[in-house]
Amino acid sequence: MISSSKTYEKMSKVFLKVFVFILMDMVMSYTDQYDDLEETLRQFDMDMHYGPCLGLKRLERWERAHRMGMQPPIQVKEIIERVSGAPTCVWEGRV
């Protein structure tokens, strides 16, 4: 029984290392898929100062924050108007 317990422990450690390696590889490949513009948009999405982002397109959220005097970054609006790929917040469809 002792040897099978040790075997299980060793296998668990190996499995954990493999899992972490695979997870890190996935994260690295995911983060390589977007550039600085997307990073700026994601930072805007994550900033709760401008209110919730779910259910709104990024431009709608920027305009709402602007109307409310929250002074959202003009750079974000310019990026949103130039980039057509991701009009919704990073959390849309994931939460």
Residues 48 and 65: their CA atoms lie apart, in Å, by 11
Are 45 and 63 found together in one domain? yes
How many folded domains does the chain comprise? Answer: 2
Average pLDDT, consecutive stretches of 10 residues, N- to C-terminus, the chain (95 residues)? 71 74 63 74 91 88 95 94 71 60
Are 42 and 28 found together in one domain? no
Are 28 and 42 found together in one domain? no
CB 86 within 8 A of CB 38: yes
Are 41 and 9 found together in one domain? no
Are 40 and 77 found together in one domain? yes
How confident is the model over 45-58, as pLDDT tens digits?
Answer: 999 999 988 888 89
Are 47 and 23 found together in one domain? no
Model-wide pTM > 0.85 = no
Domain coverage including residue 62 = 36-82
Are 43 and 57 found together in one domain? yes
